Copies of this chain bind each other. A is one copy, B any other.
């Protein structure tokens, strides 16, 4: 069997403690991977880099909320009813399949978002049977992908779920954070956290997992002002977009446009969405995934959630899996907050004072109790009256007048029609307005980004492997090696090790094996610099520094290193500027 890039990385991952299947001594469970010492460091560096890009530099904030949440949260969010895959099972061997995946793998094309009966029809028409044992397949049925747990003891327990995304933490805590953050908009609340999804039959290694780390970033904004001032800083940045039209026509041509053009031409409509997509491209680029290996694919209307007016997937080209989504960028409108408001009964609107009081035309939607009570039960009528009073009267009025109906959030949703109400338009003086913020959500799959980073860092030269990671995210910044483990060299090396560690550098000390093997080991886990202490060090305190990318060596005084390395890791100095070149002849064999 020929090994592809994934196989090679997978082997390296196991051997060097980067990433590997979990619980392997028990045979493993598909969809679970663990990060070893090198991987855990790299993963954290990627997360910290994300923080730097998206939170710190933008003056936004971060939340850390619970993984287990009670069922009410997922009733409101819609996950309880909609977060399902369609599955079929073999009546003979009991194996379960995602119906769409099964069809696709057998070469039968099925569109994203196909309904159960459409899929079953394809199964029937093509006489599909279990590919493993040939047994007949059951009718498809929806399967909720959330892991259910019982909170509390027998009898008195309540139902909870492991969160399938972290975003709901931001929504249920929005009011508290908005207030602690002094009521500013736009307000971005990020969260980096574990999620769990009970995927039916996860394959694709670290690409489709049952437990994974996600970053959901909810940017709350005033729907009447969706501009983002920092957009100016990126106006000329190019985006590679695959719009809906190019997918529908199957030409799949990628548009290269600047941010400015994308917005002016309406290729991307929302400024906040566009800004953070640009940042996402830059972010991956910064991790070593070149922008020409990325694209922003606009989701087709049938893929998109019904409340979203535009959604883009940031995709990266991977050798085995082709274009693979690593982040999604959705405009979620006020969908989540509105639903949590309806389900919890807590007012999640914010209030903005006008600069000065002003006259506004306000709709007052009066329920017609007589009509409601003939059509609905007394209880439902009461509920409708309460929902109307809690809703935004102007929105209800506008929807009733334009669409002829307004959907009141409830279980099940109730369709309010014009005949149910009386609408009065009033001119009133208002000193401000209350509204539900709208949300743009960039959402990142860290495990996929982690793997993509490895794939683009991986390099081979003969039988030597190197992870050419950007030095800012390298798990270990420098290896400190005494040339030999005697004659006082280890002591000298340890001094430098402690000096650099005290200065905050992530360094590793290693004295075993030949210097060449130590270099090779360092290359495999992406250590940008190897610092070697040799006999000359004892005389003049100089050490050699070796660059992972070029294997070039330079020499400098060890006391100069803290300051120089700080600048180097901030990309203000190049490797060559860290010292004087070493004659390569003598050291070449060490590589």
State the CA gap A281–B375 with chains docked (Å): 70
Chain B residues whose C-beta falls within 8 Å of the C-beta of A43 in the assembled complex = 64
Count of residues in A whose CB is under 8 Å from the partner chain: 84
Chain B residues whose C-beta falls within 8 Å of the C-beta of A63 in the assembled complex = 34-37, 40
Cβ-defined contact, B29 with A158, below 8 A: yes
State the CA gap A344–B57 with chains docked (Å): 48
Q: Is A512 in the interface zone, CB < 8 Å from B?
A: yes
* A97 (CB) vs chain B CBs: closest residue: B153
Q: Is A6 in the interface zone, CB < 8 Å from B?
A: no
Chain B residues whose C-beta falls within 8 Å of the C-beta of A179 in the assembled complex = 15
Task: From known contacts A96-B156, A210-B151, infer whether A36 and B340 are also in contact, taking CB-CB under 8 Å.
Answer: no
Cβ-defined contact, B29 with A41, below 8 A: no
Q: What per-residue 1/0 map shows which CB atoms of A203-214 lie under 8 Å from chain B?
A: 000000011000
Cβ-defined contact, A176 with B17, below 8 A: yes
Task: From known contacts A23-B70, A35-B65, A177-B37, infer whether A149 and B151 are also in contact, taking CB-CB under 8 Å.
Answer: no
Cβ-defined contact, B149 with A162, below 8 A: yes
Q: Is A124 in the interface zone, CB < 8 Å from B?
A: no
Instruction: Select A172's contact among B25, B67, B148, B175, beta carbons within 8 Å.
Output: B25
Task: From known contacts A96-B152, A96-B155, infer whether A41 and B57 are also in contact, taking CB-CB under 8 Å.
Answer: no
Q: Is A585 in the interface zone, CB < 8 Å from B?
A: no
One of A192-200, A245-253, A320-328 contacting the partner: A192-200
A19 to chain B, nearest CB (A): 9
Quickly give the copy total for this chain: 2
Chain B residues whose C-beta falls within 8 Å of the C-beta of A535 in the assembled complex = none
Instruction: Select A180's contact among B16, B26, B149, B177, beta carbons within 8 Å.
Output: B16
Chain B residues whose C-beta falls within 8 Å of the C-beta of A62 in the assembled complex = 37, 40-41
* A209 (CB) vs chain B CBs: closest residue: B66
Cβ-defined contact, B180 with A17, below 8 A: yes
Q: What per-residue 1/0 map shows which CB atoms of A68-95 lie under 8 Å from chain B?
A: 1110110000000000000101000011
Cβ-defined contact, A35 with B23, below 8 A: no
Instruction: Select A23's contact among B15, B69, B149, beta carbons within 8 Å.
Output: B69
A298 to chain B, nearest CB (A): 32
A564 to chain B, nearest CB (A): 15
Q: What per-residue 1/0 map shows which CB atoms of A156-199 lie under 8 Å from chain B?
A: 10101010000001001101110111100000010000101010
Task: From known contacts A16-B180, A64-B43, A155-B89, infer whether A173 and B34 are also in contact, taking CB-CB under 8 Å.
Answer: yes
Closest 7 CB pairs of A and B: A17-B180, A37-B61, A35-B64, A96-B153, A25-B344, A34-B65, A40-B64
Can you list 26 A-B contacts with CB-CB less than 8 angstroms, sorted by A residue number?
Answer: A17-B176, A17-B180, A17-B181, A20-B173, A23-B66, A23-B172, A24-B172, A24-B176, A25-B172, A25-B175, A26-B72, A26-B172, A26-B343, A29-B151, A34-B169, A36-B173, A37-B63, A56-B501, A56-B506, A68-B210, A89-B154, A89-B156, A95-B156, A96-B154, A96-B155, A151-B198
